[in-house]
């Protein structure tokens, strides 16, 4: 008997050793590079983000105030930043006053051209001349993999700077001060809506859109879905505890193993098992995957990043919706002014028609003049109905954005040509990384994709799981609470990992890597799109402003020609055709001026949105 016990103990010890060695070998095979994890592909770096905005893409500019082109600055010599308000003195000391006068005249011309945008500098400064880290050129570049501690912020996404245009001075938009009467900020994106738009009717419409727009409500529910996903992921690395109870009955064959065992055993002294055999069970089970590779926590962090990205996505849609409401509002004002212009033109033409009829009655005119004036009046009356239809459609576009059924839109009655919004301040391109909600959303998506790669990589490693259970089990209810005899429990520790046929895991890992590269390139594209939008809209604001000034001069000349032609026609010194042409050209010029003004106001609104303004 003693030898038998020793043999049993030795056998158990050897079994434990074999189990430990097997676990170590299997774990080593799974953890070591023998896992054959595919190599991680890296994203190609993007071009460096410029330090300043290039107005007109560096083309030669023209100022209508001076009637001449703006020449290249300082013959291609960049200014040294020895002082923020002056450049270094020229080498020719004797000609300093003349150079200063020429520089002052050039600066005055540039200020008149870029008004209401004030330029502090017109050449690109070296990145070493500034102490502001935000002014250093950064661009979305190669983010290989992002773990739970890696956050691809604007400074983490970098690429090599390109010096292709370092020696070519171009007109740029550096940090700009605001016009008088407006809060001085580095970028107009920091201005709230009620300061940038000073029209109370427009502010009221925007507030109604923020409260009633259905698209924003849909996005709010998507945010809730993302939040619920984060909540669900947060429970995956915590223990799962279940509680259950059951009852059953079983009849085993006497010719089976279970039946034969029941015949030999006694449930109680002198009492065998009942037949059929009842079974009552009450117990709790615990299952817990120990997150030794941070797989589950990285999955939760990825869901959290997507939740934050969904919030930024909603903020971006808010900025777009604000811009659409404002753009439609100013379009509606333009239609109102076009209608007023058309009605005034009809009045003038009806007056000319009466003169033509009077001259015909007096024998000084012909029926042809009456017919031509009458046809022109009918044409403009027809155009008036078309404009009224366009007003209805513009109102309903606003009503749709506000989430309400068709109704009149309250609006201001202003002189549209002289309507101006607050001056724009572009700031620095690097500020777009903080101000643009779509860039922040793309940044969150890059972080989430990097975490997904870490999750997919962790699937190559073994997972450690703990399973345990405790409960009460008896064939009779009166024995169920008779502990410890009715007590049952178990505990299991599992180490399971992939060994053969990892194709699905490798495919998931490669797909996660591809999705990560997509997120990086999407981030680069978003930054590039934002920068181009700012340059396009800021340039459009200035070019259209100058076009409006020229068209005003054209309109003044045409209005004078209409008065002159009408007086000459009354005195029989001009033909009716000259009056018709003068009136038609004046109306077309005013209509085109209103349309150009509408495009300029739309550019201001879109530039405000492109800079990141209008969000929360």
Q: Is the pLDDT of residue 516 over 60?
A: yes
Show Cβ contacts of residue 509 under 8 Å, excluding neighbours closer than 6 positions: 37, 38, 453, 456, 457, 459, 460
User: What is the reported pLDDT for 67?
Assistant: 57
- Consecutive H or E run containing 304: helix 295-361
| pLDDT at residue 379 greater than cutoff 70 | yes
DSSP state of 91: S
Q: What is the Cα 416 distance to its own chain's centre?
A: 32
- 252's CB contacts (< 8 A; 6+ apart) are 258, 259, 262, 277
User: Which of residues 26 and 383 earns the better pLDDT score?
Assistant: 383
**Which has the higher per-residue pLDDT, 369 or 260?**
369
Q: Enumerate the domain spans of the chain.
A: 52-85+96-124, 238-290+463-496
Q: 108-162, pLDDT tens digit by residue?
A: 433 333 333 332 222 233 333 333 333 333 344 433 344 434 444 443 433 333 3
Least confident of 130-139, 427-436, 572-581: 130-139
47 vs 129 pLDDT, higher one: 47
- Of the candidates 557, 578, 556, which has an alpha carbon nearest to the alpha carbon of residue 567? 578
Whole-number pLDDT of residue 9: 61
Q: Tell me, what's the pLDDT at 539?
A: 92
Give the phi and the psi of residue 512 in degrees, each rounded to 5.
-65, -40
Is the bond into 276 cis (omega within 30 degrees of 0)?
A: yes
Angstrom distance (rounded) from CA 523 to CA 582: 54
Is the link from the previous residue into 45 a cis peptide, with omega within 30 of 0? no
Q: What is the mean pLDDT of the chain?
A: 77
SS (H, E, C) 512-531: HHHHHHHHHHHHHHHHHHHH
At 71 the pLDDT is 43
Q: How confident is the model at residue 75 (pLDDT cuts 50, 70, 90)?
A: very low
Residue bearing the bigger pLDDT, 307 or 277? 307
Contact present, 66 and 109 (Cβ < 8 Å): yes
Q: Hey, which of 172-186, 249-263, 315-329, 361-375 has the most confident mean pLDDT?
A: 315-329
pLDDT at 214 over 70: yes
Phi-psi sector, 459: left (phi>0), alpha (psi -120 to 50), beta? alpha
Residue whose C-alpha is closest to residue 237's, from 183, 141, 303: 303
> Measuring CA to CA, which residue among 122, 133, 1 is closest to residue 56?
122
Question: Residue 172 and residue 542: Cα distance in Å, rounded?
Answer: 13
The CA dihedral of 387, 388, 391, 392, to the nearest 10 degrees, is: -140
Residues 6+ apart with CB under 8 A from 479: 485, 486
Considering the four listed CATH numbers 3.20.20.70, 3.30.460.10, 2.20.200.10, 3.30.70.260, the one that applies to the domain covering 238-290+463-496 is: 2.20.200.10
Neighbouring residues of 250: CB distance < 8 A, sequence distance ≥ 6:
276, 277, 279
Tokens for 587, please give them.
Answer: 């109306």
Chain mean position to CA 107: 37
Specify whether the CB–CB gap between 612 and 323 falls below 8 A. Answer: no
Q: 190 vs 408, 426, 604, CA distance in Å?
A: 32, 11, 15
Residues above pLDDT 90, as percent of the chain:
46
Contact yes or no for 496/300 (Cβ under 8 A):
no
Among residues 128, 46, 109, 132, the alpha carbon closest in space to that of 427 is found at: 132
User: What phi, psi does 60 have (nearest 5°)?
Assistant: -65, 130
């Amino acid at each position: 008997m003693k030898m038998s016990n020793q043999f049993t103990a030795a056998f158990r010890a050897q079994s434990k050793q074999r189990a430990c060695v097997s676990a170590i070998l299997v774990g080593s095979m799974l953890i070591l590079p023998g896992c054959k994890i595919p190599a991680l592909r890296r994203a190609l770096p993007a071009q460096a983000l410029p330090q300043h905005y290039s107005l007109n893409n560096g083309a030669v500019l023209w100022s209508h105030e001076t009637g001449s082109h703006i020449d290249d600055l300082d013959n291609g010599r960049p200014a040294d930043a020895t002082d923020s308000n002056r450049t270094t003195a020229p080498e020719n000391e004797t000609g300093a006053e003349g150079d200063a006068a020429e520089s002052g005249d050039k600066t005055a011309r540039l200020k008149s051209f870029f008004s209401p945008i004030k330029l502090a500098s017109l050449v690109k400064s070296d990145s070493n001349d500034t102490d502001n880290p935000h002014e250093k050129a950064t661009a979305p570049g190669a983010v290989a993999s992002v773990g739970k501690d890696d956050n691809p912020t604007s400074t983490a996404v970098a690429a090599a700077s390109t010096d292709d245009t370092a020696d070519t001075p171009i007109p740029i938009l550096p940090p700009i001060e605001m016009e008088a009467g407006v809060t001085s900020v580095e970028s107009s994106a920091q201005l709230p809506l009620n300061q940038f738009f000073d029209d109370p009717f427009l502010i009221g419409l925007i507030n109604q859109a923020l409260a009633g727009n259905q698209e924003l409500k849909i996005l709010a529910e998507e945010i809730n879905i993302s939040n619920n996903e984060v909540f669900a992921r947060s429970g995956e690395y915590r223990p799962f505890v279940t509680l259950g109870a059951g009852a059953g009955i079983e009849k085993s064959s006497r010719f089976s193993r279970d039946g034969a065992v029941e015949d030999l055993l006694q449930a109680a002294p002198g009492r065998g098992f009942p037949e059929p055999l009842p079974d009552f069970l009450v117990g709790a089970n615990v299952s817990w995957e120990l997150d030794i590779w941070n797989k589950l926590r990285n999955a939760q962090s990825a869901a959290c990043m997507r939740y934050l990205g969904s919030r930024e996505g909603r903020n971006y849609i808010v900025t777009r919706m604000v811009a659409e409401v404002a753009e439609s509002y100013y379009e509606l004002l333009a239609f109102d002014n076009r209608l007023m212009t058309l009605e005034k033109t009809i009045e003038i033409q009806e007056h000319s028609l009466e003169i033509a009829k009077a001259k015909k009655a007096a024998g000084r005119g012909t029926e042809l003049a009456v017919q031509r004036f009458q046809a022109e009046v009918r044409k403009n009356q027809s155009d008036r109905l078309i404009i009224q239809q366009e007003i209805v459609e513009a109102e309903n576009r606003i009503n749709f954005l506000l989430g309400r059924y068709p109704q009149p839109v309250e609006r201001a009655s202003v002189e549209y040509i002289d309507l101006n919004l607050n001056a724009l301040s572009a700031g620095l391109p690097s500020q777009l990384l903080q101000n643009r909600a779509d860039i922040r959303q793309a940044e969150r998506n890059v972080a989430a994709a990097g975490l997904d790669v870490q999750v997919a990589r962790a699937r190559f490693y073994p997972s450690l799981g703990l399973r345990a259970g405790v409960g009460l089990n008896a064939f009779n209810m009166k024995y169920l609470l008779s502990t410890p005899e009715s007590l049952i429990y178990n505990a299991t520790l599992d180490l399971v990992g992939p060994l053969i046929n990892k194709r699905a895991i490798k495919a998931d890992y490669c797909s996660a890597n591809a999705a990560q590269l997509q997120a990086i390139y999407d981030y680069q594209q978003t930054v590039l799109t934002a920068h181009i939008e700012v340059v396009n809209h800021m340039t459009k604001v200035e070019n259209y402003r100058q076009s409006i000034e020229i068209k005003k001069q054209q309109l003044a000349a045409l209005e004078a020609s209409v008065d002159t032609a009408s007086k000459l026609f009354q005195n029989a010194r001009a033909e009716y055709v000259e009056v018709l042409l003068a009136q038609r050209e004046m109306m077309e010029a005013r209509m085109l001026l209103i349309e150009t003004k509408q495009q300029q106001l739309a550019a201001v609104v879109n530039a405000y949105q492109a800079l990141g303004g209008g969000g929360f």
